[in-house]
Amino acid sequence: MAQDRKKVLVLGAGYAGLQTITKLQKQISADEAEVTLINKNDYHYEATWLHEASAGTISYEDLLYPVESVVNKDKVNFVKAEVTKIDRNAKKVETDAGIFDYDILVVSLGFETETFGIKGMKDHAFQIENVLTARKLSRHIEDKFANYASSKQKDDKDLAIIVGGAGFTGVEFLGELTDRIPELCNKYGVEQGKVKITCVEAAPKMLPMFSDELVNHAVSYLEDKGVEFKIGTPIVAANEKGFVVKVNDEEQQLEANTVVWAAGVRGSQLMEESFEGVKRGRIVTKQDLTIEGYDDVFAIGDVSAFIPAGEERPLPTTAQIAMQQGEQTAKNIKNILEGQPTQEFEYVDRGTVCSLGSNDGVGVVYGKDIQGKKAAFMKKVIDTRAVYKLGGVGLAFKKGKF
């Protein structure tokens, strides 16, 4: 093998990093570059299905597949390790499994929950963040039903669930809850009318990217299934009783034995520690997805803030964008290896769907509003497509939603 092979290091096997790898391994020969993928787990998980595993409508195991099942071992070296430091000047990455140097680096370390420093949130609220949080939350919800059913002195708070935040994550989680609750009531002989699901949202309007008609559909669908919304109501603390909210400048305690914080995400904490000008774990990139001053460092997915040329605001953080960025990064790495200039990233917005359980939803697809069963179907298409894009037809058959 050639001695002067460039070292390409990809950090993170989420949508952005794994898409970079799966595209790159098709475009290069083993002689062209020494490619290493580092990820803290030996599995990739479908982060966009976390709301389902968190509510328990699917198992946490359904989210996973081994990273190595989609990696070509002849071209890519996979290392299970946790990144602890990125030294961009020395071109080195420290991990708990040793130090790796690089010529080209792709930082795709994904998202974490952002609690905005709200008191008690980390200790008292469940989060929808990764496979472990999903497993913990779905089991906790079921444990509370089991406890209610088996106790002589029944605690109504066992059947109370409060969801903080009515963004995509909060609403999709509520949708799954409304699918799961009837099953749990059946299993534990609990009267459904006793279950209380509340969603607390700080902003005056939920899902502001959607038309009023779509928002109204989502709200009435969920309300019909028993969800109560408290809009324009910020959560200011979490404690052992539940959430504390502010209503007309006065604090009120909302009580429940399950409280879920679904009201904010940020890029990996490592971003602030490794780069300058990072806000909430996201760094503004140049149009080719590299970082200002570092033509050999790409930042993609949830750690990047990509502002399309001529616009002012960065794109949101979604799997669709992360995967498109991964695809572009693979092409740009190939260009660098061949001594060609990199190309600008152009985002193609195919649309967004917010599911409301497995049979309903709202969304915009290719610029058109859709709702109901059509949206639920489209969501399954989107979910299956993501599996296919990373793992091909075989994996899509095994893990897809059809």
Applying CB under 6 A, the site for ligand NAD has a residue count of 25
* Residue from 33, 265, 364, 378 binding ligand NAD (CB under 6 A): 265
What's the DSSP call for residue 311? -
Residue labelled with tokens 């959607």? 210
Is 134 a residue that touches ligand NAD (CB under 6 A)?
Answer: no
Query: Closer CB to ligand NAD, residue 23 or residue 266?
Result: 266
At closest approach, how far in Å is the CB of 282 from ligand NAD?
Answer: 11
Residue list 270-329, contact with ligand NAD (CB under 6 A): 316-318
Count of alpha carbons within 13 Å of 283, Cβ hemisphere only? 28
Residues contacting residue 129 through CB under 8 Å, at least 6 positions apart:
50, 111, 112, 113
Is 263 a residue that touches ligand NAD (CB under 6 A)?
Answer: yes
Contact mark string toward ligand NAD, 325..354, x via CB under 6 A: ---------------------------xxx
Query: Closer CB to ligand NAD, residue 217 or residue 331?
Result: 217
Q: Please, are residues 218 and 184 in contact by the beta-carbon 8 Å criterion?
A: no
Is 235 a residue that touches ligand NAD (CB under 6 A)?
Answer: yes
Is 164 a residue that touches ligand NAD (CB under 6 A)?
Answer: yes
- Rounded distance, CA 401 to CA 386, Å? 11
Q: Please, are residues 163 and 174 in contact by the beta-carbon 8 Å criterion?
A: yes
At closest approach, how far in Å is the CB of 346 from ligand NAD?
Answer: 19
At closest approach, how far in Å is the CB of 147 from ligand NAD?
Answer: 27
* Residue from 141, 166, 199, 396 binding ligand NAD (CB under 6 A): 166
344 an active-site residue? no
Residue among 108, 144, 126 nearest 326 (CA):
108
Beta 83-87 vs 92-95: how paired, if at all?
Answer: antiparallel
Query: Closer CB to ligand NAD, residue 75 or residue 230?
Result: 230
CA distances to 129, 307, 373, 382, 401 from 378, in Å = 24, 27, 9, 6, 11
Residue list 103-132, contact with ligand NAD (CB under 6 A): none
Q: Tell me which of 129, 172, 201, 327 is the catalytic residue.
A: 172
Query: Closer CB to ligand NAD, residue 171 or residue 297?
Result: 171
The length of the chain is: 402
* Residue from 234, 308, 351, 372 binding ligand NAD (CB under 6 A): 234
Beta 104-107 vs 294-299: how paired, if at all?
Answer: parallel
Q: Please, are residues 374 and 365 in contact by the beta-carbon 8 Å criterion?
A: no
| DSSP secondary structure letters along 32-101 | TEEEEEEESSSEEE-GGGHHHHHHTSS-GGGGEEEGGGSS-TTTEEEEE--EEEEETTTTEEEETTEEEE
Contact mark string toward ligand NAD, 49..78, x via CB under 6 A: ------------------------------
**Which residues does the annotation mark as catalytic?**
172
* Chain positions contacting ligand NAD, by CB under 6 A: 48, 164-170, 172, 200-203, 234-235, 262-265, 316-318, 352-354
